[in-house]
Structure 1
Amino acid sequence: MASRTGTSGSASESRMHLLDRFISARVSASLFSEGWGDEAALTGPSLMSHLCPEVRPLEVRWARPLTQGRRLVVDGFFDSPCPLLPQEVRQGHLRRISAKPGPVRGACVILAASRDEGYFLRSWLFAPLAEQGIDVFLLENPYYGVRRALGQRGPHVRTVSDQLTMNLATIEEARSFVAFAKAQGYERVAVAGYSMGGFMAALTAATLPMPVGVAALAAGASPAPVFTRGAHSRSVNFRALSLSTSEGEARTRLASILDAASARTLPPPPQPDAAVIVACAKDGFVPLAEAQTLHAHWAGSELRILDAGHISAVFTEGPALRKAIRDAIDRVRV
């Protein structure tokens, strides 16, 4: 069910939130500056065929926990289950945030948004869930932060094939985290994320054999329009992608490649009624229509539409974003 009715399509220039418009006007074309990358990785089998047939738990090595007020914070390390990653990217990193001993409702892994390096922003936004009985786990994204590839400058992924490898590895690591959490005794487990992290959470839930809660925040069914039509498309170096073709043809090809990993190509998750999809009515980055498409494909899911923009929601809608995660966890049947 939808909490309110929204207008289909991406936010028009007049409806786009001012903060989205301000940010998008100042981004540089820093993504895919080295072009398409490995052509063999851009075509071929479906997403499911690239994933490990058996979901195995992560083997996490934990550091010493630190006390931060009423919370316990501990960092962990693991070997990524994705064999496609470069050697320097393969060691995974995650952070657990929990409250001091008390009742636990469940666990949630929260995946990174585009260019979200480290844990600061997600900790600020989602750590309050710990006091509400939800153990929060933050995965450092492949190719971000301490997991950058050799020669990569900042969080700017250099090629389209690197982007696809990043996304595949994120899904694989999130799937293995769910198996890890189940093995640790958590009865209710959810996957969540904002923007790109929400897309990855949706694909993770749809490729798991077991039911999980999912909170797809400011995300939808496909990343194709985000990279080729929305405000985020200004970050893409289409000049590098169109050296041997026109920019229009490069946009069309990129959209086709990314849309091959749309959630529409996958069955709904095992328990779609434990899925909460959150969209922003004034989103200039992720079209509202994409969230509506995901909601329609996942019959039984809930769509909530916030009166906010893609950027502003992070700063003004924290309680609503956290509530979506709580509700997704509480709806998992055990």
Structure 2
Amino acid sequence: MARVLRTHPVDVLFAGLSRRARLFSQGWGDEQFLEEVAAAAPFQQRPPPIAPEWSAPRLQRGLQVRDGTFPSPLARLDAAARTAHVRWLSAGQGPSRGACVVLAASREEGFSLRERMYAPLAREGIDLFLLENPYYGLRRPVGQKGGALRTVSDHVLMNLGMVDEARALLAWLRSEGHARLGVAGYSMGGYMAALTAAVVPEPLAVAALAAGASPVPVFTQGLLSWSIAFALLDGPRRDAEQARSRLGRIFDLANLARFPPPRQPEAAVLVACRRDGFVPGDETLALHAHWPRSELRWVDAGHVTALFTERAALCAAIRDALSRVEATT
């Protein structure tokens, strides 16, 4: 077991600045929906087929870039979020070495961060498909400030939408003849990538970067919890611990231990940060234990700094996962 060092100070600074934009400032949201989610078995049905509409390709830093849209399979999303937006990065020539859907991290709006991080993979011949999260960027509802979602139910809807849209896009890619497919993401994007891999029946590479088995400690104990006013979330009682406990029960529905491992866990590469103040290293170890034959790699960085200092390692995780997945036709 790799030794986890103390939290990186940049993580603490970032959390302190982020708490100014409170998460769930308008409470729990749609209570009926939250009850339905708790009672339902998610992802039992395949999303309906999609046919993305793509812009003409444009050349950007040596890559072909196309922007596409398709109706989200999750019709319950806010009206502003029902159209999925995706950016396609490709070398534009030569045989494809695979295709990977890359999901966004918490509060990550737009495509620029992921373009800068993973462009080397596209130049190597791996087609990248960057999905914009529901409720972020081009899909942000009126009245929402930045990526700070207003209610807990909005966050649950966003997560369900991320997985269903990734599944639909992967199915489209498979129908278009892409034989080697993967899904990846960092932080929340890594959690949702792992969940996508767990519910897709076909072989799928997965690079879960700075993610773990359960999101519960991230929202209730880690630095991200600084952005949640638990006493206000509880309403008139202002019982912070009661609210913290309920939020944990809701997010535990996405605990990967509740789902079977992906069909080909040896094509899963997990990356954990030794000085991560947001995602506990124990959670990544738990995911590694739940996914036999997956590979766990450690980087000596914090959750935030790894995005800048460990880009080569993050790209390598995606590249290696794709190289291991079974090709299908």
Q: What band does the TM-score fall into relative to the shorter chain? A: over 0.9
Provide the rounded CA distance (Å) in 2 between the counterparts of 1:215 and 1:46.
28
Provide the rounded CA distance (Å) in 1 between the counterparts of 2:230 and 2:51.
40
1:181-240 per-position Cα deviation (integer Å, ceiling 9, x unaligned): 101111111000000000000000001111100000000011110011001111113233
Letter in 2 for 1:175: R
Which residue of structure 2 lines up, in the alignment, with residue 315 of structure 1?
308
Could you say what secondary structure the match of 2:41 adopts? Answer: helix
Asked if residue 6 in structure 1 is aligned to residue 7 in structure 2, the reply is no
Aligned 8 A contact 2:269 2:321 in 1:
yes
Asked if residue 78 in structure 1 is aligned to residue 49 in structure 2, the reply is no
Asked if residue 41 in structure 1 is aligned to residue 37 in structure 2, the reply is no
Match of 2:287 among 294, 298, 322: 294
Which residue of structure 1 lines up, in the alignment, with residue 17 of structure 2?
26
Provide the rounded CA distance (Å) in 2 between the counterparts of 1:146 and 1:278.
29
Could you say what secondary structure the match of 1:16 adopts? Answer: coil
Q: Which runs of 5+ in 2 are unaligned?
A: none
Letter in 2 for 1:280: C
Provide the rounded CA distance (Å) in 2 between the counterparts of 1:69 and 1:171.
30
Provide the rounded CA distance (Å) in 2 between the counterparts of 1:260 and 1:27.
25
Provide the rounded CA distance (Å) in 2 between the counterparts of 1:110 and 1:189.
11
Once the two structures are TM-superposed, the CA of residue 45 in structure 1 deviates from its matched residue by 4.9
Once the two structures are TM-superposed, the CA of residue 266 in structure 1 deviates from its matched residue by 0.5
Could you say what secondary structure the match of 1:198 adopts? Answer: helix
Once the two structures are TM-superposed, the CA of residue 132 in structure 1 deviates from its matched residue by 1.2
Once the two structures are TM-superposed, the CA of residue 48 in structure 1 deviates from its matched residue by 7.2
Asked if residue 148 in structure 1 is aligned to residue 144 in structure 2, the reply is no
Provide the rounded CA distance (Å) in 1 between the counterparts of 2:68 and 2:150.
27
Could you say what secondary structure the match of 1:260 adopts? Answer: helix
Once the two structures are TM-superposed, the CA of residue 58 in structure 1 deviates from its matched residue by 2.5
Aligned 8 A contact 2:47 2:73 in 1:
no
Q: Is 40-49 or 94-103 further displaced after alignment?
A: 40-49
Give me the identity figure in percent: 51
Letter in 1 for 2:298: I
Provide the rounded CA distance (Å) in 2 between the counterparts of 1:221 and 1:48.
20
Provide the rounded CA distance (Å) in 1 between the counterparts of 2:190 and 2:319.
15
Once the two structures are TM-superposed, the CA of residue 52 in structure 1 deviates from its matched residue by 5.7
**TM-score, scaled relative to structure 2:** 0.95
Q: Structure 1's 301 and 46: CA in aligned 2 closer, same or farther, altered over 3 A?
A: farther
Aligned 8 A contact 1:113 1:195 in 2:
yes
Letter in 2 for 1:188: R
Q: Structure 1's 177 and 47: CA in aligned 2 closer, same or farther, altered over 3 A?
A: farther
Letter in 2 for 1:77: T
Letter in 2 for 1:205: A
Could you say what secondary structure the match of 1:250 adopts? Answer: helix
Provide the rounded CA distance (Å) in 1 between the counterparts of 2:88 and 2:40.
28
Aligned 8 A contact 1:7 1:288 in 2:
no
Once the two structures are TM-superposed, the CA of residue 89 in structure 1 deviates from its matched residue by 1.0
Aligned 8 A contact 1:108 1:135 in 2:
yes
Provide the rounded CA distance (Å) in 1 between the counterparts of 2:264 and 2:33.
31
Q: Is 230-239 or 313-322 further displaced after alignment?
A: 230-239
Match of 1:171 among 163, 166, 185: 163
Provide the rounded CA distance (Å) in 2 between the counterparts of 1:239 and 1:136.
42
Provide the rounded CA distance (Å) in 1 between the counterparts of 2:48 and 2:165.
10
Q: Which structure would you say has the larger RCO, counting Cα contacts within 8 Å and 6 or more residues apart? A: 1
**TM-score, scaled relative to structure 1:** 0.94
TM-align CA RMSD:
1.5
Match of 1:185 among 166, 169, 177: 177
Provide the rounded CA distance (Å) in 2 between the counterparts of 1:140 and 1:77.
10
Q: Structure 1's 90 and 260: CA in aligned 2 closer, same or farther, altered over 3 A?
A: same
